[in-house]
């Protein structure tokens, strides 16, 4: 998968390829990651990429021309059929279903805005999809682009080990994770739940599912509302809540 990021801060987005799962995917040649800077396409001596907003108001707006030129250059580097995705507070909220849809593509171009935003005409003309990470204020689209890239790249075949990939389509889907513990068995007066030391794998699996269900109900009732619990699952949840 070939990824291009159009950004005024290429050094910032490059760090996504320096660590962990995405870094390994790049090293293995499963994904390529490059950035294109609109400033390199600004025509004037000052290399201007922003200007004052028509209609007045605070802040600056990214200019059409340098962004369009950078986008064109970025598009030329990715396969045909690679969409242009703009990260912006006005976008639909990114989720795992969107990550899965993107993971099937041959490439993508991410457009990260700065300042108050990008001239709307550029978005109308060149952007296929606008995405947000949710209702909080970032300083620009770069961190959002990096988050989307991380979520997509880990879904690509060969990026995660077999065990981790199998976990992705387990029955726990749609729920928060169960709690995790490692050695020692007791620390700061707190013990690992007895069931996890029992060696009874069926009991452990049931307990973990119950924990996932119970925690999801308490912390993210919206997730549990989407599920159609059978009688056994409802009983596990009721028992969790009764404790
Ligand atoms: C303080 C500026 N705001 C005035 C009401 C508007 C605003 C402009 C630009 C707010 C944020 C940004 C920059 N944000 C992004 O580019 C962004 C973002 C975000 O802020 N939150 C969640 N997801 C995303 S994706 C891109």
pLDDT at 165: 73
Tokens representing residue 83 in the block: 């969409």
Residue 140: domain span: 2-153
Specify if 163 maps to a domain: no
Ligand 1 lining (C-beta closer than 6 Å): 87-89, 113, 116-117, 132-134, 136-138, 140-141, 144
Tens digits of residue pLDDT in 2-29: 999 999 999 999 999 999 999 999 999 9
Specify if 57 maps to a domain: yes
pLDDT at 128: 98
pLDDT at 102: 98
Residues 46 and 80 in one domain: yes
pLDDT at 99: 98
Helix extents (H) in the chain: 10-14, 20-27, 64-75, 96-103, 120-126, 142-153, 162-168, 201-219, 221-225, 231-242
18 CA distance to ligand 1 centroid (A)?
25
pLDDT at 140: 98
Catalytic positions are 89, 116, 154, 169
Residues 131 and 176 in one domain: no
Specify if 6 maps to a domain: yes
Residues 184 and 143 in one domain: no
pLDDT at 135: 98
Specify if 116 maps to a domain: yes
Residue 78 belongs to a domain with what CATH number? 3.40.1280.10
- Rounded to the nearest integer, the mean pLDDT of the chain is 96
> What pTM did the predictor assign?
0.97
pLDDT along the chain (243 residues), means of 10: 98 96 98 98 97 98 98 98 98 97 98 98 98 98 98 97 70 91 98 98 98 98 97 98 97
Look at the chain and report how many structural domains it folds into: 2
Tokens representing residue 163 in the block: 């065990």
Handedness of CA 25, 29, 30, 35 (dihedral sign): positive
Specify if 16 maps to a domain: yes
Residues 29 and 54 in one domain: yes
Which of 88, 148, 151 maximizes ligand 1 atoms within 8 Å of its Cβ, making it the mutation to test the pocket?
88
Nearest CA to ligand 1 atom 4: 116
Residues 198 and 139 in one domain: no
State the virtual CA torsion across 145, 151, 153, 158 in degrees, nearest 10: 170
Give yes or no for a contact between 5 and 34, defined as CB atoms under 8 angstroms apart. yes
Tens digits of residue pLDDT in 218-237: 999 999 999 999 999 999 99
Specify if 206 maps to a domain: yes
Give the atom of ligand 1 at the shortest distance from the alpha carbon of 145: 25
Phi and psi at residue 190, in whole multiples of 5°?
-115, 130
């Amino acid at each position: 998968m070939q990824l291009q990021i159009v950004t005024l801060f290429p050094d910032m987005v490059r760090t996504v390829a320096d660590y962990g799962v995405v870094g390994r995917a790049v090293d293995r040649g499963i994904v390529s990651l490059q950035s294109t800077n609109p400033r390199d396409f600004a025509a004037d001596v000052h290399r201007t990429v922003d200007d004052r907003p028509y209609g007045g108001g605070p802040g600056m707006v990214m200019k059409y021309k340098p962004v369009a030129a950078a986008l064109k250059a970025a598009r030329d580097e990715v396969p045909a059929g690679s969409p242009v995705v703009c990260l912006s507070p006005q976008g639909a909220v990114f989720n795992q279903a969107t990550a899965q849809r993107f993971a099937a593509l041959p490439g993508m171009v991410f457009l990260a805005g700065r300042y108050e935003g990008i001239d709307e005409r550029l978005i109308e003309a060149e952007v296929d999809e606008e995405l947000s990470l949710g209702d909080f204020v970032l300083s620009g689209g770069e961190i959002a682009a990096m988050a989307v890239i991380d979520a997509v790249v880990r879904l690509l075949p060969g990026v995660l080990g077999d065990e981790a990939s199998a976990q992705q389509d387990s029955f726990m889907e749609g729920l928060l994770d169960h709690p995790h513990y490692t050695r020692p068995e007791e620390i700061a007066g707190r013990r690992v739940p007895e069931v996890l030391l029992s060696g009874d794998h069926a009991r452990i699996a049931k307990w973990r599912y119950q924990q996932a269900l119970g925690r999801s109900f308490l912390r993210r009732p919206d997730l549990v509302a989407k599920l159609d619990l059978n009688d056994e699952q409802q009983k596990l949840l009721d028992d969790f809540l009764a404790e």
